């Protein structure tokens, strides 16, 4: 009976959770429900209680309370491996607090940014997690010998397998990435460039039909991004640009799915339990159906198109084992969500900043007109676009202030490694390290002056710089740390579609500004744009109504 003494049983259960972190519903049932039930029976047999009516609530309440007390006491104690690092008490106690912040209003990026402003470049944002802005993270965390992904990415698990962006094993990730690399090489890009031209033509035609009246340019960048990615990934035409709306409801579906992912990713242990909650996976189930339908239609279409599906299915026979269609559906779904949404988000931010600061709109249009003096039809020279300094500066500055993925790129210091040094900071084993691009890009140590202001000039190589105020400063006074610029991540797990996304952004901005004059339809939407931005793993945006008029 000694083993069933609560004074022995509860510390043992605490040790099991601390050491092994069991998260399956079966283990939770046994450790949190069945075991205290056994204690009830044992104590009743020992006549510690007069009746089960008294024993059940007393034992269960005491059991859970003591177990919680042990957990909290250790996490906030000076004996915890991360005790030296500052952070809010609620973050030290449970990652559930950050999940709450993420789910409540989509402002986790602002919350973590505020923590860094209060505590410095290392902040404890979870019981076993740090957010770090020190510049050495690029080498130690994201570099060639960097850290593997952390449990934040476990929400990318599907029945068919893990999507590419969720793979935590670096060796397996490298193997899985090979078809993506072939699908993004120079030869593949030639085909994608033709798709960009066709999709851009649909965009311009659609916008010309709606000149001189308010339209939501943010919504139309969505139409462009998802129409192109549908064609690129599966040779599937969603027809958003031609129809002027999303007839399949794909955008709304993705928004709801991403909102769920935003908070679940912070507490991935909850995923097995959510499967037992009716309707909890409704949007992800619908997303799965979207991917499966796209694969089925692409298979029926045949293999005449060298789209991304062609490479992911290894139709050229490079790999020893071809992936299943179900797994390709998972990665194809990833391409459409990640590629379509991130491109649309950045394009929307660029338009917002150009409307907010018309001086930069005029400068960019001047560069476009000088680069393409023969008119709008000549703007589709992608090589020239790559070498347009101010265009690329505007894109980089929008990506700096609002990277498409605002939340942390989580990595993990694995057991047995002895820990890692990131700059002067020692990170113990079994600690998660999160890199919030939003915080890193707004750190004055990395980007100054005007750290929180849209100032594209910081990306140009000049001997002297003129600030918006008119003051002139030397190059020595400008800090632009390109090494910590991570809108697409860095290293072996850098975004596979980075070059495609940049090509899309350049081409859309060139065509848009050479075809149209833009003005904001309602100043209030411009004033509230940044307030309405929400972090939902991707980025949820508000409405940006503009009036377009054809240029002479």
* Known binding residues for heme: 495
Cβ contacts of residue 493 below 8 Å, gap of 6+? 142, 149, 173
Residue with the two structure tokens 């991917």: 291
> For 291-295, which contacts have Cβ atoms below 8 Å and span 24 or more sequence positions?
291/329, 291/330, 291/332, 291/333, 292/326, 292/329, 294/230, 294/233, 294/234, 294/236, 294/329, 294/332, 294/333, 294/336, 295/234, 295/325, 295/326, 295/328, 295/329, 295/332
Residue with the two structure tokens 């593997």: 148
Q: Are 226 and 238 in contact (CB under 8 A)?
A: yes
User: Quick one: CA dihedral 458, 460, 463, 464, positive or negative?
Assistant: negative
DSSP secondary structure, 456-495, as one string: GGGGS--SEEE-TTS-EEEGGG-EE-GGG--TT--GGGS-
Q: Measure the CA–CA gap between 293 and 368, rounded to whole angstroms.
A: 40
Which residues carry a binding-site annotation?
495
Burial of 27 (0-12, 13-18, 19+ CB in 10 A): middle
- Cα torsion at 163, 169, 172, 175 (round to 10°)? 80
Q: Which two tokens stand for residue 481?
A: 């740390």
Q: Are 87 and 434 in contact (CB under 8 A)?
A: no
Q: Which residues of 209-225 are buried (b: 16+ CB within 10 A; e: fewer)?
A: eeeeeebbbbbbbbbbb
Using alpha carbons only, give the angle 485, 107, 486 rounded to the nearest 5 degrees.
10
């Amino acid at each position: 009976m000694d083993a069933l003494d609560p004074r022995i049983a509860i510390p043992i259960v605490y040790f099991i959770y601390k050491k092994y972190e069991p998260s399956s519903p079966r283990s939770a049932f046994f450790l949190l429900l069945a075991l205290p039930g056994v204690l009830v029976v044992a104590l009743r047999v020992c006549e510690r209680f007069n009746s089960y009516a008294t024993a059940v609530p007393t034992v269960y309440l005491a059991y859970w309370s003591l177990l919680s007390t042990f957990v909290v006491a250790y996490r906030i104690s000076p004996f915890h491996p991360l005790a030296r690092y500052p952070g809010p008490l609620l973050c030290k106690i449970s990652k559930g607090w950050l999940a709450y912040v993420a789910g409540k209003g989509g402002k986790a990026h602002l919350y973590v940014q505020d923590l860094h402003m209060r505590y410095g470049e290392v902040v404890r944002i979870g019981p076993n997690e740090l957010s770090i802005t020190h510049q050495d993270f690029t080498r130690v965390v994201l570099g060639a010998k960097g850290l593997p992904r952390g449990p934040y990415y476990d929400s990318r698990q599907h029945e068919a397998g893990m999507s590419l962006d969720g793979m935590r094993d670096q060796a397996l990730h490298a193997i899985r990435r090979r078809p993506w690399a072939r699908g993004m090489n120079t030869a593949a890009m030639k085909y994608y460039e033709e798709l960009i031209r066709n999709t851009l033509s649909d965009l311009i035609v659609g916008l010309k039909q709606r000149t001189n009246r308010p339209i939501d340019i943010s919504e139309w960048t969505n139409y462009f991004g998802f129409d192109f990615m549908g064609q690129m990934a599966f040779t599937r035409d969603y027809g958003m640009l031609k129809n002027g709306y999303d007839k399949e409801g794909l955008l709304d579906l993705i928004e709801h799915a991403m909102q769920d992912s935003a908070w679940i990713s912070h507490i991935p242990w909850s995923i097995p339990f959510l499967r037992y909650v009716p309707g909890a996976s409704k949007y992800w189930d619908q997303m799965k159906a979207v991917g499966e339908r796209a694969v089925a239609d692409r298979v029926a279409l045949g293999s005449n198109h060298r789209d991304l599906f062609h490479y992911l299915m290894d139709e050229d026979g490079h790999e020893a084992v071809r992936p299943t269609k179900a797994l390709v559906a998972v990665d194809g779904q990833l391409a459409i969500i990640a590629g379509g949404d991130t491109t649309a988000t950045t394009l929307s931010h660029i338009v917002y900043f150009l409307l907010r600061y018309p001086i930069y709109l005029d400068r960019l249009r001047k560069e476009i007109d000088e680069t393409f003096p023969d008119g709008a039809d000549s703007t589709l020279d992608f090589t020239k676009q790559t070498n347009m300094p101010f265009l690329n500066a505007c894109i980089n500055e929008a990506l700096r202030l609002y990277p498409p993925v605002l939340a942390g790129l989580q990595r993990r210091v694995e057991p047995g490694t002895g820990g890692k040094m990131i700059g002067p900071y020692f990170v113990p084993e079994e600690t998660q390290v999160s890199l919030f691009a939003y915080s890193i890009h707004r750190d004055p140590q990395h980007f100054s002056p005007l750290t929180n202001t849209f100032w594209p000039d910081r990306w140009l190589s000049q001997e002297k710089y003129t600030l918006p105020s008119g003051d002139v400063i030397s190059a020595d006074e400008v800090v632009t740390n390109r090494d910590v610029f991570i809108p697409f991540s860095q290293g072996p797990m850098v975004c596979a579609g980075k070059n495609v996304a940049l090509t899309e952004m350049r081409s859309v901005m060139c065509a848009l500004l050479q075809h149209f004059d833009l003005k904001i339809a309602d100043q209030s939407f411009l004033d509230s744009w940044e307030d309405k931005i929400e972090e939902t793993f991707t980025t949820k945006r508000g409405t940006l109504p503009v009036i377009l008029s054809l240029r002479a």
